Amino acid sequence: MTRRIQLRTLLIGGVTTLFFVALITRVFWIQVVNADFWQSYAELQWSKKKIITATRGTITDRNGETLAVDIPAYTVAVNPKLINEFGLQAEIVQGLHKILGKPESELLSIVNAKKDDGTFYPQREVRLEGWKIDLDLKNKVEAFSKQLKESHHIKDAGISFVNEQKRYYPKQNLAAHILGYVNREGAPVTGLEAFYNEQLQGQNGELQYESDPKGIEVPKADKVYKPVKNGDDIRLTIDYTIQYYIESAMKAAFDNLKPISMTVIAADPNTMEILGMANMPTYNPNTYWEDAKPENFTNHAVSSAFEPGSTFKIVTLAGAVEEGLFNPNETYKSGRIRVPGRTIHDINRSGWGTISFLEGVKRSSNVAFVKLGYEKLGPEKLKDYIEKFGFGQKTGIDLPGELKGTVNMQYDADYAAASYGHGQLLVTPIQQVAAVAAVANGGKLMEPHIIKSVTDPNTGKTVKTEPKVVRQVISPEKAKEVGSYLEQVVADQKIGTGRHAYIDGYRVAGKTGTAVKVVNGEYDYTKQVVSFIGYAPVNDPKILVLVVIDQPQNSELGGGTAAAPVFKEIVSKSLQYMGVPKSTPTTKKAGTKEASLLKAPSLEGATLANATGQLMKQGIAYETLGKGSKVITQFPKEGTPLEGGQRVYLLTEESNKMAVPDLKGSSLRDAVEVLTLMGVAVTADGEGYVVSQKESKGKDGVRSVKLTLKPPETTAAGKREHESGAESEEKQQEQGSGPSG
């Protein structure tokens, strides 16, 4: 018996010992060997992480008008479990179909959605129609939900919202090809949104904290906070108002001419800041999926290359003038010219007889430019100037998808054709703008840019884009001479091919272009690209505009009759808006629009939005004074004739609350009138137009402004930040040499 007890005791002791050994081993394994794993697992149970979403940077125009911004968005969600419990399926399907436009069959499958175990889901999002909707639509859904709750006497109708953010473009289609868009998933797709995504998107922050089993934050527990870095704000060089003028003029022309596409670029030739850029057809970045055709998203301004036609003759002319080879009074026989391998004809195949080279420029004679480029300059120098003006290489503009074009002349006939913009020569619109700007600004080829500044909202640091000169292509004196010849192309109302671009009161320089398209290796005279490029005022250029129209429906139209009027519409309104005074006498023609000056409309009592909209449509420059939403008074008064460049001032607050406006470019009369309306004392020094102003306040609290004025010819007008045989030209009948115009 004793022995048995001893054996049992020994057995129990051994088992107990083994148990404790196993337990200690297990504890050692967990706490020492696998300590890191279990520590991490435990932290997951009590540690919570909250992501703080970064706000995408805002994109504005040069004057602060918002073009792209993040705004709150709301995704509609339904609770199938609750909806089926209360029997609301039919009502919710019908109601959401009516508000969101989502098919009833798809809504029915959502409100009846079940898990694998056969139970209803507690939440399902209504995509795509209910995904990231705006506040107005959300309010409609909320009102519908409230109606359901009241009619069924329930606290919850099974409709809720997920708070999100989305990208919003308040100007709708405006500048769509510049901005690009961010898709519904939040990914940038095209334009600046994609090109500058790294700067715009910012970096999300996060907050880590400890919580109890119920998920409630533990007081005084350690926290780890990584601050959010919001995206950089980007300020563009484009001007919303000029962009508006561009797109309005383009739409009218596009509807009338029915081309494949249109492209317009406006730039300040002195800095190569892009003031406006647009293409048609276009799209709305807010509803990009509705304009799904690929051609709607192409920014032809930088990513399409074509034979330029006669607008390219500016390069040939500039090279000949720079080399001292252009004598405007020298004569030649027009009509046709023979080069090795090809006979080249003028627009008028029989020619105009023996004419001067200046007349040849005004008539856009192919023969004149073959003589200037191929014979006088010679192939080597012609190609050298083509490359100096930036063709065959990217301009470096800060936009995605830029092409470098083609400069590939090999034979004599190629060089002869290149002298008037055809043959082995393909250019992009932005290259043409940069090249002609070099003529306008005194011979400097500059790098175009569309980003004016980038600001880090987290630090306030701003990086500005400074104008960049690539090279001096021609001398300032020769550039001015070339401009004088191009001015005659527009000013000569009898034979100048650019006469339809003439703007009364302003000196305009420009050149038309009509290039027949190549189809299957042959020129097809029923398909052509027509264009006009020019700048104004010639003596002090403020704006340069290129208009390109690809294949207007009427193949009889050329650059002079199709593109030049679009240029005129844009530039005339832009110069007025920019405050550039007219420098040439007004030519009054009976029965024409020029015979009567614009008059100040009646705006007092109107909302500010309606007043500014009316002025923009009429092409009248304006300045808003005060921060009110309604026009209290205006200057000039209703019915007052407006001189070129004169502004309408809209006062929206009591004068003593308003800041003194920038009056540079205004006449003394207008400046005094505005300041008097505001109760501000005025002193003036000089005569002409305001070039500077200095504000001060006396001991009695009365504000005063001293104005400095200079005569018009020395006034740096431009009030905003822009400071710092002709009819036959339209129809082409070349034989194998490519047409021109």
Domain boundaries, the chain: 2-50, 52-236, 240-580, 595-714
* Rounded-to-integer distance, Cα 339 and Cα 415, Å: 10
DSSP 57: P
Q: What is the pLDDT of residue 242?
A: 94
Lookup: tokens for 389: 């003006």
Helix H or strand E segment including 179? helix 176-179
CATH class of 240-580: alpha beta
Average the pLDDT over each of 28-32, 142-146, 199-203, 409-413 and give the range with the smallest value.
28-32
Contacts of 582 (CB under 8 A, 6+ apart): 504, 505, 506, 643, 644, 645
Write down the catalytic residue from 310, 334, 364, 655.
310
Contacts of 457 (CB under 8 A, 6+ apart): 57, 230, 231, 232, 233
Most confident of 27-31, 512-516, 522-526, 639-643: 512-516
Average pLDDT over residues 438-442: 97
Q: What is the pLDDT of residue 33?
A: 66
Give the pairing type, strands 159-168 and 451-455: unpaired
Cα angle for residues 76, 79, 81 (degrees, 5° grid) = 165
Phi-psi map region of 460: left, alpha, beta (phi>0 left; psi -120 to 50 alpha) = left
For residue 501, which phi and psi values (nearest 5 degrees)? -95, 0
pLDDT above 60 for 23 = yes
H helices present in 394-508, as ranges: 412-418, 429-440, 476-491
State whether CATH 3.30.10.20 applies to domain 595-714. yes
Helix H or strand E segment including 426? strand 425-426
3-state helix, strand, coil in the chain (%, to 5): 35, 25, 40
310 part of the active site: yes
* Rounded-to-integer distance, Cα 565 and Cα 584, Å: 20
Q: Binning pLDDT at 50, 70 and 90, where does residue 489 land?
A: very high
Is 276 in contact with 547 (CB distance < 8 Å)? no
**Nearest of 176, 226, 160, 424 to residue 312 by alpha carbon:** 424
Look-up: residue for tokens 């009846």? 112
Look-up: residue for tokens 């596009």? 254
Q: What is the pLDDT of residue 540?
A: 92
State whether residue 504 is helix, strand or coil. Answer: coil
State whether residue 582 is helix, strand or coil. Answer: coil
* Rounded-to-integer distance, Cα 125 and Cα 133, Å: 12
Name residue 306's beta-bridge partners.
427
Is 57 in contact with 153 (CB distance < 8 Å)? no
* Rounded-to-integer distance, Cα 379 and Cα 527, Å: 29
What Rg do the C-alpha atoms of the chain give, in angstroms?
A: 35
Is 159 in contact with 77 (CB distance < 8 Å)? yes
* Rounded-to-integer distance, Cα 134 and Cα 168, Å: 10
pLDDT above 60 for 666 = yes
Q: What is the pLDDT of residue 352?
A: 94
| Sign of the C-alpha dihedral computed for residues 299, 304, 306 and 312 taken in this order | positive
Is 250 in contact with 224 (CB distance < 8 Å)? no
pLDDT digits (tens, 9 = 90+) for 279-335: 999 999 999 998 878 889 999 999 999 999 999 999 999 999 999 999 999 999 999
pLDDT above 50 for 179 = yes
Contacts of 106 (CB under 8 A, 6+ apart): none
Q: What is the pLDDT of residue 718?
A: 39
Average per-residue pLDDT in the chain? 86
- Helices 608-618 and 240-257, axial angle in degrees (round to 10): 60
- Helices 89-100 and 104-111, axial angle in degrees (round to 10): 130
**Nearest of 477, 592, 486, 578 to residue 533 by alpha carbon:** 486
Q: What is the pLDDT of residue 724?
A: 36
pLDDT digits (tens, 9 = 90+) for 344-366: 999 888 899 999 999 999 999 99
| C-alpha 399 chain-centroid distance | 10
Q: Binning pLDDT at 50, 70 and 90, where does residue 341 land?
A: confident
Amino acid at 675: L
* Rounded-to-integer distance, Cα 276 and Cα 255, Å: 20
Q: Binning pLDDT at 50, 70 and 90, where does residue 134 land?
A: confident
State whether residue 196 is helix, strand or coil. Answer: coil
Q: What is the pLDDT of residue 100?
A: 93
State whether residue 713 is helix, strand or coil. Answer: helix
Lookup: tokens for 607: 């909302």
Name residue 547's beta-bridge partners.
264, 532
* Rounded-to-integer distance, Cα 346 and Cα 737, Å: 10
Helix H or strand E segment including 694? strand 689-697
pLDDT digits (tens, 9 = 90+) for 72-110: 889 999 999 999 999 999 999 999 999 999 999 999 999
Q: Binning pLDDT at 50, 70 and 90, where does residue 521 land?
A: confident
What kind of fold does domain 52-236 have according to CATH?
Answer: Penicillin-binding protein 2a (Domain 2) (3.90.1310)
pLDDT digits (tens, 9 = 90+) for 227-244: 889 999 999 999 999 999
Task: Provide DSSP, 255-317.
Answer: HHH--SEEEEEEEETTTTEEEEEEEES---GGGGGGG--GGGG--HHHH--B--GGGGHHHHH
